């Protein structure tokens, strides 16, 4: 993240009302959990063969889709633009799964996780500043 982008993100986070910070923190924890589950599923699917692999791939793709839905909801409820970038990484992970290379999906899911963790950290800092956390 460039210096000017970081400044912009921090300014947005500090200007956000407490409600947005609470929602951002709560949803970031939910999305992080889903990303960790999806990463584990993708790794397990990569180790399987035949019909079990197909089932695991379908499950993993479905799970990523649900996490993406939560992420899009979070984007609508908060002013954090990083949610959009996280969705792009999740979509890349789904493409890897659909392409039959689930071992590549965790890379993209981890990048999404890094962004979501940053959103949660900024929201927590805002809540701490307001003595709400």
Average pLDDT over every residue of 30-56: 95
Flag whether the pTM goes above 0.85: no
Percent of the chain scoring above 90 in pLDDT? 71
Instruction: Please say if the pLDDT value at position 45 is more than 90.
Output: yes
Angle, helix 82-98 to helix 105-129, in steps of 10 degrees = 160
In the predicted structure, residue 114 carries a pLDDT above the cut 90: yes
- Mapped onto helix, strand or coil, the DSSP state of residue 82 is helix
Q: Work out whether the CA dihedral 25, 29, 31, 32 comes out positive or negative.
A: positive
């Amino acid at each position: 993240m460039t210096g000017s982008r970081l400044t912009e993100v921090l300014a947005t986070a500090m200007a956000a009302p407490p409600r947005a910070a609470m929602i951002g923190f709560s949803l970031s924890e939910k999305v992080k959990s889903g990303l960790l589950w999806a990463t584990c599923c993708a790794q397990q699917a990569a180790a399987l063969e035949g019909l079990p692999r197909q089932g695991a791939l379908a499950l993993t793709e479905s799970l990523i889709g649900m996490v993406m839905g939560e992420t899009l909801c979070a984007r609508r409820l908060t002013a954090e633009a990083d949610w959009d970038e996280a969705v792009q990484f999740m979509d890349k992970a789904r493409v890897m799964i659909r392409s039959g290379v689930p071992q590549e999906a965790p890379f993209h899911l981890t990048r999404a996780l890094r962004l979501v963790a940053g959103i949660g950290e900024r929201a927590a800092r805002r809540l701490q500043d307001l003595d709400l956390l």
